[in-house]
Amino acid sequence: MCKKIDIKLKLLFIFVNWRFYKIITIINMKILKHYIIGLLTVTMLLSCGGSESNGKNQDVLVEAEGYYMEGDKKYKIYNGGIFRINEVDNFKNLFPHAMIDAVSARITQQIYPGLYKFDQLTLEPVNCIAESETVNDNASEWTFKIRKGVFFQDDACFPEGKGREVTAKDIKYCFEMLCENRPGNTTHELFTQRVVGARDYYDGKSTSVSGIEIIDDYTLKITLTSSFSAFNSLLAHGACTIFPKEAFDKYGDDMRVKCVGTGPFMIDAIDEGVQVRLVKNPTYWEKDEHGNQLPYLDIIKITFTKDKKSELSNFRKNNLDMIWKLPVDEMESVLVSIEEAQQGGNPEFKYQQINGLNTQFYAFNANSPIFSNKNIRKAFNMAIDREFLIKHTLKGEGEPAEHGLVPKFGKYDNSEVDGFEFNPDEAKKLMAEAGYPNGKGFPEMTLYLNEGGSINTIIAAALQNQIKENIGVSVTIEPLPFDVLIERFATGQTEFTRTSWIADFPDASNFLWLFYGKNVPDDPTARSLPNFSRYKNADFDNYFEKGMAALSAEEQQMYYNKCDSILVAEAAFLPLFHDQYIRLIQNNIVAFPINSMEYRDLSRVFKSK
């Protein structure tokens, strides 16, 4: 079959060349060059190389200006190519104010920038739509200069389909919408807890947010209720990104999949559960230090294969350019092959590893009749052998959560927070004091978790065995679709739930606000976000507020350590482990360093030859 196609293409090429010979004198040679490149691209796509297993050969790369240093290696920069990645979970909602999952966030990071974005390597906030800022002495007033020449992508929501320039009015519009009390707005606390007038606006007591002020077309001022030195990091959060009023007016709830941003890429096609395809935004504003227009890549292709083994197989066949997180039962063989390849000086792919800014834990519903008893919560925690879980169940991929909720990162040190120790004898004693000796009489208990995550099921089965063996309690495991799980969890319909938190921005407050009591509604059936557990503690709330207002890292850490220590003393949750992130990258992928949030900015990633 391949030979037949090759013959036809050769005949086509001869015919095209003959036609071109007749008119070659009136055709600009640059146009001819692009035509031939295009024809060669078609040849590659239609020939044997057009199959997925030879996807690497589909890339047409064009030399750009400059070089990039990665370690001690120097790479020539190229434009073009397709970046192929897989997610094992489907995205839920691509509208910035309604995102509740990491997959949606990783997609929209390419489409919707904010005033800031994160540095791909360090996670420090870097200026994006905000060209510069002025901050007062106690970090309660922030004035932003909006970058000129940033345009929304072309879209039918604009007159004649032509995207317009972003101004301060757009920033105010998006930030005020973030403060609205409306269905689907899952992240309003980012502003309603911090910005002057935001709570009144949310409660319907005012018609605008007084703390968000337009100075002129390119200047915006935000006044906070108290000091918050990490406000620029918060503004890199996906919910604080910018979209046009015209798009929301036209598409409304359809912005779940209809994206209109200012980022380096834009949506080309969505086949839910199968593929999302992003293409280069031709009106993107940013250039690199060599003067090259960004992004370098032409296309990002995101597939949704649920099975991690299939994902790894596709990576090995070169159908994917990266894989994040390895299947547990393949971990040892992959790592052995990497070590052998490195010793031989010819690794098949690049290996990246970092401790994740993430905590995996099980949540107790504080309103549950059974888990309102602190002794039971403590008993569950002491019945778990976290070291065994990491070593045997996870094959060493992770760090036991032995110091509370917040992992150690950057300048934040959690070593002063005492965690839970494995003590089955004390756990049995606590259960007896609670009226359930050896688990007798304990009501039926169900652990709810999201379906499709094989590792979550494996972990749940291991803990199910430990809880039964150590305190005599039988736990039933019930996987649910992610959106169903979130809705039941948020509305207080589950008692015992598997969850995790990946930092939205690198600050301890981003973890601790999961237990901030002022986020809990009075109605026990109303959605409680992000405090799904409905935990309330006045001392915790006081220290949390003081930590957010602290100007020095040392003072912040002191208050945040106190918060975390309260959570442990109260056994407010059941911490398991902090993820260890592993990525495998094809050797021709350049400028894509790993970070502890798995934040992805593909605007400067390129493929080398």
Q: What is the pLDDT of residues 45-96, one digit of tens each?
A: 333 333 344 444 579 999 999 999 998 999 999 999 999 999 998 999 999 9
CA trace torsion 546, 552, 555, 557 (10° rounding): 100
CA distance linking residue 137 with residue 321, whole number of Å: 46
Query: Quick one: tokens of 245?
Result: 């009023």
CA trace torsion 196, 198, 204, 208 (10° rounding): 80
> Which of these, 458, 400, 445, 425, lies nearest to 575 by C-alpha position?
400
Q: What average pLDDT does the segment 401-420 reach?
A: 95
pTM of the model: 0.85
Q: What average pLDDT does the segment 507-525 reach?
A: 95
**Which DSSP state fits 127?**
E
Give first-to-last CA distance, the chain, whole Å: 29
The letter for the amino acid at 202 is Y
Q: Quickly state the pLDDT bin for 344 (edges 50, 70, 90).
A: low
- Radius of gyration of the chain, Cα coordinates, nearest whole angstrom: 26
Query: Quick one: tokens of 388?
Result: 């065994």
Q: Do 239 and 96 form a contact (C-beta atoms < 8 A)? A: yes
CA distance linking residue 415 with residue 561, whole number of Å: 9
The letter for the amino acid at 59 is D
Q: Do 337 and 348 form a contact (C-beta atoms < 8 A)? A: yes
Q: Residue 193 contacts by C-beta under 8 Å, 6 or more apart in sequence?
A: 199, 225, 513, 516, 518
Query: Quick one: tokens of 435?
Result: 């009226």
Q: Do 355 and 598 form a contact (C-beta atoms < 8 A)? A: no
Hunting for tokens 């190389």 — which residue is that? 49
Q: Quickly state the pLDDT bin for 22 (edges 50, 70, 90).
A: very low
Average confidence score pLDDT of the chain: 90
> Which of these, 222, 155, 160, lies nearest to 191 by C-alpha position?
222
CA distance linking residue 197 with residue 211, whole number of Å: 6
pLDDT at 186: 86
Does the pLDDT at position 39 exceed 70?
Answer: no
> Which of these, 446, 521, 528, lies nearest to 487 by C-alpha position?
528
H/E stretch holding 562 reads: helix 553-569
Does the pLDDT at position 184 exceed 80?
Answer: yes
Hunting for tokens 């493929």 — which residue is that? 607
CA distance linking residue 605 with residue 609, whole number of Å: 14
> Which of these, 294, 235, 234, 289, lies nearest to 263 by C-alpha position?
294
pLDDT at 5: 40
Least confident of 68-82, 320-334, 453-467: 320-334
Q: Do 107 and 276 form a contact (C-beta atoms < 8 A)? A: yes
CA distance linking residue 205 with residue 474, whole number of Å: 49
The letter for the amino acid at 36 is I
Query: Tens digit of pLDDT for each residue in 526-567?
Result: 999 899 999 999 999 999 999 999 999 999 999 999 999 999
Query: Quick one: tokens of 5?
Result: 């196609």
pLDDT at 7: 39
Q: What average pLDDT does the segment 298-316 reach?
A: 95
Does the pLDDT at position 389 exceed 60?
Answer: yes
pLDDT at 341: 59
pLDDT at 273: 94
Phi, psi angles (nearest 5°) of residue 575: -70, 145
CA distance linking residue 544 with residue 566, whole number of Å: 11
Does the pLDDT at position 228 exceed 70?
Answer: yes
Q: Do 506 and 410 form a contact (C-beta atoms < 8 A)? A: yes
Does the pLDDT at position 301 exceed 50?
Answer: yes
The letter for the amino acid at 530 is P
